[in-house]
Each structure stands twice: as C-alpha cells, then as structure tokens.
Amino acid sequence: MPARLIDSLASTGPLADLFSDESVLQAMLDFEAALARAESRSGIVPKAAADAIGSVAKAGDFDLAALARETLRAGTAGIPLVKALTAKVRAASADAARFVHWGATSQDVADTALVLLLKRSQPLLGADLARLEAALERLSDQYAQTVMLGRTLLQAAPPVTFGLKAAGWLGAIRRSRTRLETAYAEALVLQFGGASGTLAALGDKGLDVGRAMAEDLAIGFPDAPWHTHRDRLGALVSACGVLTGSLGKMARDISLLMQTEVDEAAEPAGDGRGGSSTMPQKRNPIASSVTLAAANRVPGLVAAFLSGMVQEHERGVGGWQAEWPTVAAVIGSTGVAAASMAEAAEGLDVQEARMRANMDATRGTVFAERAMILLAAAIGRDAAHQIVEQAAKRSATQGSHLAQALAEIPEVAKILDAKTLGDLEAPEAYLGVTEELRKRLRFGKKKG
C-alpha cells in the first residue's frame, strides 16, 4: 500500500495501489495504445506507427512528478501525457510520432482511463462482499434460534433472534451488491468522441475505431460519447453510497453490541487489532470504526459528484475536473468498509449467554406487549394497555418481574390463568414469524 498515512484508514491496499499514480498513468497509456491499434486496423495509422506507440506505453518509463506538475498547469492530464508520449515515440520513430493521440481529445483518455480503473476495482470489491455474504449466511444459520433483545430507539423491546439480525444485514448487502453490479455494467464503457464529441477528425471511420478500441480494452461501446453526460458514473457512485450506508448500519449495530454494558458480540481481536494505547484491557470495535468513518465520508463525496453533473454544453468547466479524486475516494472508502465488515463477520464472537442474561435483566418488561395482547382479547386494547402500564410501573418500583406484578392485579387474574402468566416471559414463545423472515432474507422469498 502506498505510504500515505493520511489515507491509511480510507482504502484497502489493493485499491490504493489501483489508484496510485503509476496505475492511473498506465490506464491512460493503455487507451493511447488501443487507439493506435484500432486506427491501424481501420487503415488510418500505419501498423508500424501503432507498434511504436504501443512499445513505449509503459508507465514506469515516464516522469510521474513532472506529469503531475504539468497537469495542474494544463488543467487535464491528457495534454502533458500526449506530449511526453509523443517525445518517447519520436525517439524511436519520427514518422510514428505524428500519429500519437490521433483524432482523440484529452477527456477521452482521462475518462477511459478512469473506466479501466473502475473495471479493475469491481472484482476487488466483489471478493470482499462475497466474503461478507458467506460469513453472514453462516452467522444467520448458526444463530437462527439464539434469542436476544430487540432494541427500538436504543431501548429494550420484544425479542428477536441474532440469526434474524444477521440475515437483515445480509439482505441489505445483497440488495446493494445487485445495484452496484448493475451500475458497474452501465458505467464500464469507452469514452471516445474527439474535440466536440462527433469524431469528425476520423471521417466516416469514427464508429469503427471506437468499436475496435472497446473490444481491445474489453469494455462496452456506448451509443455516443458522454463527455458531459455523467449519469452512468453518478449511478455507480450513488450505488457505492447506498452500499457503504448498509455496511455502516451493520458496523453501528456491532459497535453497540460491543459496549461493555451490553457485551453481546465482539469483533475478532489479534496482534495490533482493537487495543488501546493507554488501556490494555480494551477490545475496541476497529472494523466498525473504519466502516463508520467510511459511511461518514461517502455521502458528502456522492453529493460532490452529483453536484458536478451539471456540466456545460460539450465540455464541462470544473465539474469533470473534480471527478477523479472524488470517484477514487468513493471506491476506496467502499472497499475498506466492505473488507472491514468481512473481517468482522468472519470472526464475530457472539455471546449467547450474555444475550439471555440481558433479556432476563429486564424482568420480563419487554413482554408488556404480549401481556397487553392477551388481555385485550377480553377487555379491549385501551383497558389492557392501562393495566399493563400499571403493572410495569409496579414491577419497576418493587423490582419484581412483570408476570408477578400482573398476577397481583385482580382483573388480570380473572382473565389469565397461572400457566399463561408463568409462560408470559418465555422469549421463544413470542417470536412471531421470526424464522420465516430470516429464511426469506437468507434464502430469498421463493425458498423461504
């Protein structure tokens, strides 16, 4: 991973490498080499010239620092790149140098380079999402019958199962991954339009060259150039935003379950993972912290991209130029969140006994809804609500269980027998269709 401490929590090593200077430059050079080959096949550029251009299109042979400085002055990386590439081709063949970047424009090379980088990012994200989904499937199955407190507005509520909670995370990740895959499929297309997006410099061969380039680079060929139409990239960036939000929701839940007072789950620990510089006893939610940081960053980045979509005529002023670092940051943040949650899920330590103990600590008050429903069948909901509310207050005052407090109310004793009251606080008996819902999320509706 490039040694940039300031970005060390904002990407994974592979994604940081993918968006490194050398990788970005090589993607631009790949465009130029593919352009020359395609034009050679169309009879526009001599094959010898295409071979000469391709032979020197190697990022390691270029002065990256100089290109970066000149890009700031030129307003686009394409201008200094073409100048430097032409110089290298000229050193090998003066005749071939005439055909560098023939018929293309700076945005063509910049946009297609970004698309090539995005194409390479897709399997990196996909691998970590696959790990995460597999781990959540296992957790959902393993803890399908593990009862725990439901929590609404951070307060104890009727029981759920940890299997359902894990399946809820899984369902959101799967839906987000589907949206992401669709967005990738639409976004991974060639940019090739020339000066005004008409390919006029190539006469009637523009589409032939474009198709050949797209085939060479193994990306899609769009209906037309998209210099100022950024909807495809906008959809991809937005899909990353939704996915990172879903990962952040999972991270929030895990970090709350890891609180000392809750202690129902914990991320995997290890050498250098989860400790504190001053408190040796701590086991911190590091994967969740990194993911939540990403979930905090990405919405602003998505908004920045979307605001830059309003671009002028056939070439944007400022909006397009803002995109490279924004898109790279979105992909890096999404990737580090996916990798972090995959690590957390694969080694999650689930404390079943603590889940039961925390439920027992409520002294049955989380079953107030159940008691109200049982009573309402005989006396109506409003009257039942008042009685159960009275019992809950008595339970809190006396430190007794809800069932005991209810049994002391004569009206309740007339309606609910001792066995019903005795079973009132059995969580397994008040799970509704929890397992059916879990299966629908885990396996899909048709298999549920």
Amino acid, res. 304:
A
Kind and range of the H or E element at 86? helix 78-92
Percent of the chain with pLDDT over 70: 96
Catalytic residue among 69, 175, 196, 276: 276
Per-residue pLDDT at 44 = 97
Per-residue pLDDT at 193 = 98
Per-residue pLDDT at 7 = 87
CATH architecture of 105-189+226-361+433-448: Up-down Bundle (1.20)
Angle, vertex CA 392, rays to CA 255 and CA 386, nearest 5: 120
**90: pLDDT strictly greater than 90:** yes
Domain boundaries of the chain, sorted by first residue: 1-104, 105-189+226-361+433-448, 365-424
Burial of 390 (0-12, 13-18, 19+ CB in 10 A): middle
Whole-angstrom distance, CA of residue 30 vs CA of residue 292: 36
Per-residue pLDDT at 282 = 54
Q: What's the mean pLDDT in 173-180? A: 98
Q: Higher-confidence residue: 273 or 296? A: 296
Q: What's the mean pLDDT in 141-160? A: 97
**273: pLDDT strictly greater than 80:** no
**Which value, in Å, is the radius of gyration of the alpha carbons in the chain?**
30
Q: What's the mean pLDDT in 11-32? A: 97
| Residue 315 falls in the annotated catalytic set | yes
Calculate the average pLDDT of the chain: 94
| Region 1-104: CATH code | 1.10.275.10
| Residue 174 falls in the annotated catalytic set | no
Residue 447: pLDDT band by 50, 70, 90 thresholds?
very low
**446: pLDDT strictly greater than 80:** no
**276: pLDDT strictly greater than 70:** no
Catalytic residue among 315, 354, 394, 440: 315
**279: pLDDT strictly greater than 50:** no
Per-residue pLDDT at 281 = 53
Phi, psi of 367 (to 5 degrees): -100, 15
Residue 3: pLDDT band by 50, 70, 90 thresholds?
low
Mind listing the pLDDT tens digit for each residue in 92-105?
999 999 999 999 99
- Tell me the pTM: 0.94
Per-residue pLDDT at 1 = 44
Residue 448: pLDDT band by 50, 70, 90 thresholds?
very low
